[in-house]
A and B are shown apart, each in its own frame.
Chain A
Amino acid sequence: MYYYIYDPLLANKKNFNSVAKIETRLTDLGINGKINYLSFLKNIYQVLDEEIKKGLETLVVVGNDKTFIKIVNLVADLGLVVGFIPFGEPNLIAQLLGIPTGEAACDTLSSRIIERLDLGQINNYYFITSLECDGKDVILECDNNYFISPQTKNSRVTISNLDVYDGSIIRPEDGQFDVFIKTGNGGWFKKPGEVSRFNAKRIKITSQGSVPILLKDEERIIKTPAEVRIIPKKIKIIVGKNRQLK
């Protein structure tokens, strides 16, 4: 049984034709199902909980990366298989998962290649992509073994699970975060920025004052101190055959 969650963007009249094509293709493939629009007024978690009791196994997100990320955070503990039909920009996650845009995504959904991917967790809140914070006065305690601290004021810490950083793909299947510390901006007449990188499974972020940590693509801020850990193989996602994960 399939259940579809649409981004509110799809209700726009100018998207009517594109949505109709996708729905027709889903019907042709025999994988159509109930549709619900993502909204602040609805408690999606409660709706899905009721649907799971009725036999829901596959949840499909139709929208852009932001829609997908919101839903992944909500359903991480529900044990559902999550599908994705990318619609609109940004759609970097869909590209990494090898899911084409438009009607072709319906065929990917139908082929049901399921991968178990890692999720990050910060203070009991799940995330699939990356976290960012200012590196000034920040200390990272990694895997209860070692401490890493940037020594310059102008630095940026990025903790990634699924992302693209400086052209390299961060894969969410290795059971660890890729941590980057970029120092210096590399602006006009300056040296290019230097990047330190390492892997860790559990990171405690502490600082002298309170430093905001930004969850990328979510516009959500969590303040230090915070504990970040990787949850290996936490979520089942339907991916395309051209996925860039391995």
Chain B
Amino acid sequence: MFKSNSTGHSHETDTVIGPSVKLEGDFVTEGNIIIDGIVSGEIKTARNLKVGAGSKIFANVSAENALVAGEIQGNVRITNRLELTSSAKVFGDIKTGILAMAAGAMLSGKCQVGDEKSRSPKIDFSRQEKIELSPLEEIDRKNKIKK
């Protein structure tokens, strides 16, 4: 999901919030985001989000894919894949397509995984019509009940 070069970060990465930087407010972008610092407000991206270990996010988060190793206090909405590493802490509701959660990851909140559309339709038995049996079938059924 995140490819990095020898210098640490790929040049394709549009936004990097380092460990010594604080971001406050609504941050909306179309590119990838790597957060290693402190963020409060809201984060939205149409692409990938990486939350590094040691980073703290006090915000609602929305992205296509996310890899979380730090702490998020807020709701997380991921359209495709969310990966929580062993150091991840999420205090908020999660809604994602796919969830991968490592042992040790912390989650406090509601969690909805998968798409609502993929759920099978509920069968309503109350509306099912009574099946009329022929006289012979009716006798067989009564005999079976007696046995």
Contacts and interface: CB of A to CB of B under 8 A. Distances in A.
Interface in A183-233: 183-184, 194-199
Nearest to A144: B25
A147 B24 CA distance: 5
B21 A146 contact: no
Interface string B15-44: 111111111111111010000111001000
A196 B24 contact: no
A151 B37 CA distance: 10
A152 B18 CA distance: 11
Interface residues of A, number: 21
Contact of A196 (B7, B18, B29, B41): B18
B26 A145 contact: yes
A111 interface: no
Given A151-B21, A151-B37, A181-B21, A146 B16 contact: no
Given A147-B23, A166-B7, A198 B28 contact: no
Contacts of A242: none
Nearest to A141: B25
Please classify how large the interface on chain B is, using the bins under 10, 10 to 19, 20 to 34, 35 or more: 20 to 34
A209 B25 CA distance: 23
A152 B20 CA distance: 6
Most buried by A among B17, B21, B22, B31: B21
A111 to B, nearest CB: 30
A150 interface: yes
Contacts of A183: 18, 20-21
B15 A181 contact: no
16 contacts: A145-B28, A147-B23, A147-B25, A148-B17, A149-B21, A150-B21, A150-B22, A166-B7, A183-B18, A194-B20, A196-B21, A196-B37, A198-B14, A198-B16, A199-B14, A199-B29
Interface of B: 7, 9, 11, 13-29, 31, 36-38, 41
